[in-house]
Amino acid sequence: MSSQHDEHKDYEQLDEAIGHSTHKLFNMSPNDVLVQIALPVVLILAIATRLITIGQGMSNQSQNPAILDLWKQHLILRVDRTLDHWEKESGLAQFSDFNRVYWSNHWPDDDRFRQLCKKAAELADMEKLKETLYREALNGALSVQPGDANPGQFVSLYDPRYAAPGVISNSVPPEFQIDDTRRQFAFQYIEERCKRWNREIEDLQWKLVDHLAAELPAGDPLTDARLETQMKKIASALEARGYPLLPGLTHEYRKAP
Amino acid sequence: MKYTPFAVFGLGMLAVFGTLTANYGETTNALPSQADSAKDRAKWRLATISAAREILDELNHPQPLGSDDRAVLVDKLNNAMQKDLQAHASRSASQNLCAEIAIKMRRENLERRFKEVTAHANEQSLLSVTWADVESHLGGGWSNTVEQAMQSFANTELAPLFKDSRARAVGLLRQELEQQFRFPTENEVNGMLGELVARHSNSPALTANDEAVLQQQIMDLANPEHKVYFEELAQVLREPTLRISGETRKQYERQLSLLDTAASQRVPNDRRQASTIGTALVKAIENDLEIERAKPPITDVGGKIIPVYPLLAPVLSFVPVIATKLESERLITFLAQCPVLALQSDSLAKVIRAAPEKHHTLALSENEFMTSLQPDLLAKATTAYAAEANPVGETHYFETLLTTNPALTTAFKARVSIELHAQLPEARRAVSEEQFNKAFSSLERQVVLSSEALALLQDSGGAALTSLSEAAKLFGISVRNNNSLLEETVNRVLTLSNQKAREGYDVLTSQLTLVRKLEQDRLAKLRDDVAARRPYKAIRAEWQAALEAAWSADSRSQSTPYKEILDLTLASLNKAVRQLYDSVQESPTTATAATPSEARPTTETEQGKVKELLQVPAKPEDQNPEPQKEVKPPAPKTSDKGAGSEGAADVVLSRTRVDRRNEPDGILLLTGAATGPATARLLNQAGMAIFSISFDPGKPQEAATVIFEAMKPQLKTIWANTVLEWQKEHSGLGILKRRTPPKLKLFIVIESEDVRHRMSLLLRQHIDELLTEWDKAAEKGTPAVELDWKVGLTFEQITQGP
C-alpha cells in the first residue's frame, strides 16, 4: 500500500509541478483555437469539396459517347444534314443577336429577317414540318450531297411509311429498316431541333415586338386597350411588312389568363 | 471572450454549407431570369402600352356616368350641402363648391381607374407594371388631357348632377322646415305684438316696418337657431312666414276693428267715465271673439289649424286709450250742446253796468267774463253731466277732467266764448247806449262851434279828433270819468265830434276862400277908391257886405247852421283890406308887382318852412343827427329874392354862419308846383344860385341823374376846394393838428311835395360814388372826403300850417 500511496503522491507532485510551471503545454486561447485551427480546417474541407465536385464534372464530360447503332448513326447523319439545311435556308444562324436586324425608323427593314420569319412560319405546323424534314432526310437529295468525301458512308435507310416510290424494302438490310421505334426516335430528334428553332425565333420575334412596342405612342392605331386585339394589330402590321409572327406570339393572348 | 468548441464547429459548418450552395448555383443550368426574357419584356411592354391606350381612350371618350355612379355622386353632393348649409346657401356658391367636389371625386375615380388598369396590366405581365411605366407611355400632354377630361366632365355632367343634388337637398330641407313652421301661441303673439305696439304708443296700427319685424319673429319660431338655408328656400320660408304673420296680423287688426266698432256703437250712452267705458268695450270684444272661437276650426294652406286668439294683450292695452278718448269725446259733445252753459245778454249787461271800467273794450270784457263766469259754469256743466252718467259719476271727477285735460278745457272755453260772442255785443250795445244818452246826447243836435274852437281847428289844419279830451275841449262837454265809458261809447262820441268839427272847419275854409276871391275881384276897384280918397272904413264895409252876400248865396245851398260870417273870417278880411289899402296908397306904381296873394303866404309859410328845416331833418338821411335848438327864424324877407324857397336857404345860411363848423358847401333847393315841372337850384355859401335846372319829380331815377349831371362840375370845384383847404390846414404847423377827414357838406332843402324821398337817396348815391372815384384818383396822403348830407322838408309847413 505504501508504494501505491507513494506513487500517487508522486503524481500529485508532478501535477503540482506542472501546474506551477512557467512553461505550460496547452496554453492557447479560444480565439487562437478559432483562427489557428478551426478556420484552416474549414478552408481545407471547402477546398477539398470543391475539388471533388470539379472532378466529378470533368469525369462526366469526358465520358465517351456510347457506341451508337449503325442505323442510328446514319439516321442522325441524314437528319442533321436536313436540319442544317433548313436552318441555313432560314438564316437563323445570322441572328444570333437581335441587334443584327436592320431597321428603318420604327420598323424592321431587313430581308434576311423577313426570310427568317417567313421560313419560321413552317414551324407553325410542327408535325408537318417534322414529317417533311424526316421525309427529306430519308429520301431527299440532301442525303448524299455532291462533294461528299465518302458518299458511300450513307447507307440506305428504309422506312416503309415514308419510303420513296420505287424503293423496295428487300434491298435494305433489316438493320437499316426503320420501324416505329426508330421512327419515333427520329421524330423526337427532329422535334427537339425544331423546338429550339421555334424558341430562338420566338425570342427574336418577341424582341421585335418589344422593340416595336417601345416606339409606339399610346395613341397609335396599333395600340389597343385589349391585349389580344393589340397583338393582332401588331402581328398584322408586321405580316404586312413581310414579318409573319409565330403562333406562339400571335396566340399568346388567346390563352386563358 | 471564449468560444466553445461547439460554436467553432457550427461556424465551420456554415461556411461549408455556404460554399456548397454557391457551387450549386454555378453548376445548375438556370433559366434566364424573367426580367431578361424577351417574351416577358415584350409582354410587359405590350401590357403597359395597352394600359396607356385604355386610359387615353377613357379620357378622350369618357363614358357617360352610369346610373350607379350618378347616384353616388348625387348622394355625395347632397350630403355635402346638408353638412354645410351656410357655404351652400347661395346656389351659385353651392354650384362652385359642388363642382370642386365632383371634379375631385371624378379625379379620384380616374386615379382609381388608372390603378385598376395598371393592376390589370400587371396581371398580364410577369414583369411588374407600375403606374410610372404606364404614365411614361402617355406622353407629355398627358396632364392636359386629364384636365380636358375634367373640363369635359364639368361641362357635360356637372350641371345635371348639381341640379339633381340641389333639388334633393332643397326638397329634404323644405320638408324639414315646413314641419317647423307653426302658428305662435297666444303668449308669443302677445309678446311679439306688444313689443311692436310699444314702439309707437300713439297708434296701435302696425306699420310696414312692424310687418317685417313680425315676419322675422315668425321665422325665428321656425328657425330659432337662425340657420342659414338655401336661397331657393327663401320663397319657401317666405310663404308660410307671410301666411302665418298675415293671419296673426289679421286677427290683431280684427280685434282692433272690433274695438273701434264697440267704441262707436256698443258702449251705452250713459257710460261717461273711462273705466266704465273700458269695461263695456272689453265685454263687447270678448263676446265677439267667443262667437268666432265657437265656429269650426279652419286650416290654412299648410294644413295647420288656424287658432282664434282671445283678446290680445296689445289690444287690451289700447282699450284704456280708446275709453279715455271716448270719455273726452262724449264730454266735448255734451259741452257743445248743454243748455246750462247758455248766457243771456241781460245778465251780462248787468255785470257790465256794475263795473264798466273792467269792460272798456270788447276784448277786456270777454276776458273778464271768461274769468269770472268759468267756475260757475264749470260746476254747472259737470254737475249736469255727472247726473246723466250710469252709474252716476262724481262731479269732482269731471271737474278735474275739465281742468286738466287741455282738449276738454279748450272745448269748454270755446263753448263759453261762443256764448259770449253771441250775447256780449248786445249787452255792450245796451250799456253803451245808456252811457251816450246820459252824457253825450247833445252832440246829436245841431252844434255851432265857437270862434275859439274854430281857431283851434284852423291851427290844427282841420285834423281829426283822436281823444275824448280833445272833443270835450272843442265842444265844451264835461267828462268826469273816461274809464267808465265803454269803447263803443267813446267811438260814437268821437265820430259825432269829428263830424261837427269838420262841418265848422269847412265853413271857415269856404269863407276864407271867398275873402281871397274878393281880393282879386276888387283890387282894381280898390285902386280907384284909394285914388278917390275914399275912407278906409267905407271900403272895408263895402268889402264885408260883398262877403256876406257871397256867403249868404253859398250857405243857402247848404244845410249848415253857420249862417253868419265867422269872426275869424272877418279878421282875415280886415287884414287883407288893410294891407292892400296901405300898399296901394304908398306905391301905387308897384302895387301890381306884388299881389296880395303872393305876399301873404310869405310871412307865414316861410316861418313854417324854416322851422321845419331846422327842427326836423329827414331822419333816414341824417347820418349825424345833432340835437338842434329851435331857433327863431329871422324876419321874413320879401325883397329881391322873392321866392320863398330862397328865403329858406337864406335862413339856413345865416344859421350856419353862426356855427362855422356847420357851414354847408352848397345848398340844393328842390322846388316846384304841383302842376308843373320841379326846379333844382344849387346855392353857394353866399346864397347865390350857381345853376338851376328843371326836372320831372314823377321820375326819380331820371331826375336824380339830371340833377347829378348838372351838379358834377360844381361838385368837382367844391371837392377840390375842400381837399385844398384840408391840405392847407394840415401843412406846416398844421401837421400837428388832429387829422380829421375833410367833409363836403351839402344841405338839401325839399320844398316840393312832389319830390320823392327816393330821388334824394339816388342823388346821394351818385354823389357818394363820384367822391369815391375822385378820392381814389387823389394824391396819396389825402384822406377820403366824407359827404355830410342833410335833408330838410318844408312842404309840410305849406300844406298843414304851423
Average the pLDDT over each of B1-5, B61-65, B332-336, B588-592 and give the range with the smallest value: B588-592
Arithmetic mean of pLDDT, B288-306: 86
**What confidence tens digit (pLDDT) does each residue in B406-435 have?**
999 999 999 999 999 999 999 999 999 998
Q: Which residues of chain B from 38 to 77 reach within 8 Å of chain A, CB to CB?
A: 38-39, 41-43, 45-47, 49-57
The confidence score (pLDDT) of residue B723 equals 83
In B, minimum Cα distance to A38 occurs at: B8
pLDDT band at B20 (very low <50, low <70, confident <90, very high): very low
Query: What residues of A are in the B interface, CB distance below 8 Å?
Result: 29-31, 33-34, 38-39, 41-42, 45-46, 49-50, 53, 57, 98, 202-204, 206-207, 209-210, 213-214, 216-219, 223-227, 230-231, 234, 252-253, 257
Mean pLDDT value of segment B486-500: 90
- Mean pLDDT calculated for residue range B361-373: 91
What's the confidence (pLDDT) of residue A157?
Answer: 82
pLDDT of B652 above 70:
no
* Mean pLDDT, rounded, for B725-731: 79
Give the pLDDT band of residue A149 (cuts 50, 70, 90): low
Least reliable range by pLDDT among A152-166, A171-185, B283-297, B696-710: A152-166
pLDDT at A64: 57
Q: What is the pLDDT of residue B303?
A: 79
**Minimal CA separation from B41 to chain A, in Å:** 7
Cell numbers at residue A108, please? Answer: 424592321
pLDDT tens figures, B67-93 = 888 888 899 899 999 888 888 888 899
Average pLDDT, chain A: 83
Which of A34, A225, A230 is nearest residue B8 as measured by Cβ atoms?
A34
Query: In whole angstroms, what is the distance from residue A169 CA to residue A159 CA?
Result: 8
Q: Which residue on chain A is closest to B140 by alpha carbon?
A: A217
Given A33, A210, A218, which is nearest B42 (Cβ)?
A210
Q: C-alpha cell of B86?
A: 351656410
For residue B297, the surrounding DSSP H or E stretch is none
Q: Is the pLDDT of residue B637 over 80?
A: no
Substitution target from B20, B39, B56, B58 for chain A, most A beta carbons within 10 A: B39
Whether residues A252 and B55 touch (CB distance < 8 A) is answered with no
Contacts of B123 in chain A (CB under 8 A): 257
What CA–CA distance (Å, rounded) separates B622 from B459? 29
How far, in Å, are B22, B23, B26, B411 from residue B17 at the CA level? 9, 10, 14, 135
Q: Do B20 and A207 touch (CB under 8 A)?
A: no
Q: Return the pLDDT at B15.
A: 46
The span from the CA of B521 to the CA of B327, in Å, is 88
Position B645 scores a pLDDT of: 45
* Residue of B20, B42, B49 with shortest CB distance to A216: B49
pLDDT band at B472 (very low <50, low <70, confident <90, very high): confident
Beta strands in B268-365 (DSSP E): 298-299, 305-306
| Cell 275709453, residue located | B323
**C-alpha cell belonging to residue B176:** 324639414
- State the DSSP code for B741: P
Higher pLDDT, A167 or B624: A167
Of B279 and B558, more confident: B279
**If you average pLDDT over residues B640-658, what whole number do you get?**
47
- Strand partners for B683: B667, B689
Find chain A residues with C-beta within 8 A of B45's C-beta: 209-210, 213-214
Q: Do B12 and A49 touch (CB under 8 A)?
A: no
Does an H or E element contain B634, and which?
none
Q: Is B167 on the interface with A (CB under 8 A)?
A: no
Which member of A204, A218, A234 has the closest CB to residue B53? A218
User: Which residues of chain A does B53 touch, with a Cβ-Cβ cutoff of 8 Å?
Assistant: 218-219, 223-225, 230
Q: Do B792 and B613 contact (CB within 8 A), yes or no?
A: yes
Looking at beta carbons, which residues of chain A come within 8 Å of B139?
A: 217-219
Share of chain B above pLDDT 70, in %: 83
The shortest C-alpha distance from A50 to chain B (Å) reads 8
- Please report residues of A whose CB lies closer than 8 A to that of B41: 206-207, 210
pLDDT at A129: 93
CB B374 within 8 A of CB B304: no
CB pairs under 8 A between A and B: 104
Contact A217 B27 (CB under 8 A): no
Give the residue on B whose Cα is nearest the Cα of A56.
Answer: B27
**pLDDT at position A20:** 62
Residues 6+ apart with CB under 8 A from B291: none
List B748's β-bridge partners, or say none.
B668, B791
Cβ contacts (< 8 Å) between B10 and chain A: which residues? none
pTM: 0.44
B35 at the A interface (CB within 8 A)? no
What does the pLDDT read at residue A30?
Answer: 85
**Cβ–Cβ under 8 Å, residues B396 and B522:** no
Q: Indicate whether A154 pLDDT > 70.
A: no
ipTM of the complex: 0.72
What is the rounded distance in angstroms from the CA atom of residue B93 to the CA atom of residue B88? 6
Give the amino acid at B767. I
B6 touches chain A (CB under 8 A): no
Question: What pLDDT shows up at residue A141?
Answer: 60
Residue among B503, B768, B436 at smallest CA distance from B621 = B768
According to the model, what pLDDT value does residue B689 have? 76
> Do the Cβ atoms of B137 and A227 come within 8 Å?
no
Contacts of B16 in chain A (CB under 8 A): 42, 45-46, 49
Phi first, then psi: what are they for A218, rounded to 5°?
-65, -30
Of B46, B51, B56, nearest to A209 by CB-CB distance is B46
Q: Which residues of B touch A33 (CB under 8 A)?
A: 3, 5, 8
Q: Mean pLDDT lowest for which of A59-63, A94-98, B328-332?
A: A59-63
**Would you call B12 and A218 a contact, using CB atoms and an 8 Å cutoff?**
no
Q: What percent of chain B has pLDDT over 90?
A: 18
Out of B16, B49, B51, whose CB is closest to A49? B16
Cis upstream peptide for B406 (omega within 30°): no
| Cα nearest neighbour of B55 on chain A | A225
**Interface with chain B: mutation pick from A29, A227, A232, highest number of B CBs within 10 Å:** A227
Q: How far is residue B438's CA from residue B504's CA, in Å, rounded to a whole number?
A: 25
pLDDT at position B126 over 80: yes
Q: Which helix (H) or strand (E) holds A121?
A: none
Interchain CB distance below 8 Å, B19 and A50 = yes
Which pLDDT value is given to residue B636? 36
Q: Cα–Cα distances in Å, from B494 out to A255, B468, B486, B752?
A: 149, 7, 13, 34
As a residue count, chain B comes to 802
Nearest to B38 among A34, A203, A253 (CB): A203
- Nearest by CB to residue B49, choosing from A203, A223, A253, is A223
Q: What is the mean pLDDT of residues B651-667?
A: 59
Which of A9-18, B324-333, B596-605 has the least mean pLDDT?
Answer: B596-605
Q: What is the pLDDT of residue B650?
A: 56
| A80-138 pLDDT, tens digit each | 999 999 999 999 988 888 889 999 988 999 999 999 999 999 999 999 999 999 988 88
> Which pLDDT does position B29 carry in this prediction?
32
The verdict on a CB contact (< 8 Å) between A223 and B45 is no
* Confidence (pLDDT) at B654: 52
Residue A17: the pLDDT is 65
Is B16–A46 a contact, with Cβ atoms under 8 angstroms apart? Answer: yes
Mean pLDDT (chain B) is: 79
| Nearest one of A195, A196, A183 to A75, comparing CA atoms | A183
pLDDT at B480 over 60: yes
- pLDDT over threshold 80, residue B590: no
Q: Which of B95, B250, B111 is nearest to B162 (CA)?
A: B95
- All residues at 6 or more sequence positions from B38 whose CB lies less than 8 Å from its CB, including other chains: A98, A203, A204, A206, A207, A210
Q: What pLDDT shows up at residue A3?
A: 58
pLDDT exceeds cutoff 60 at A150: no
Name every chain B residue with its beta carbon within 8 A of the beta carbon of A234: 46
pLDDT by residue (tens digit) across B345-366? 999 999 999 999 899 899 999 9
Q: What is the DSSP letter of B76?
A: H
Residue B684 predicted with pLDDT over 80: no
A-chain CB neighbours of B23 within 8 Å are 49-50, 53
User: What's the gap in Å between the CA of A13 and the closest CA on chain B?
Assistant: 30
Region of residue B449 (phi > 0: left; psi between -120 and 50: alpha; otherwise: beta): beta
Is residue B49 predicted with pLDDT exceeding 90? yes
pLDDT digits (tens, 9 = 90+) for B131-162: 888 888 887 778 888 888 888 888 888 888 89
Provide mean pLDDT across the span A185-206.
93
Helical spans, DSSP H, in B233-312: 233-261, 274-294
Q: Is B182 exposed, middle or buried (0-12, 13-18, 19+ CB in 10 A)?
A: middle
The verdict on a CB contact (< 8 Å) between B27 and A57 is: yes
Interface test with B, best of A206, A230, A231, A250 (most B CBs within 10 A): A206
Q: Using an 8 Å Cβ cutoff, are B485 and B365 in contact?
A: no
Min CA distance, B83 vs chain A (Å)? 41
* A29, A213, A226 ranked by CB distance to B45: nearest: A213
B8 shares contact with chain A (CB less than 8 Å): yes
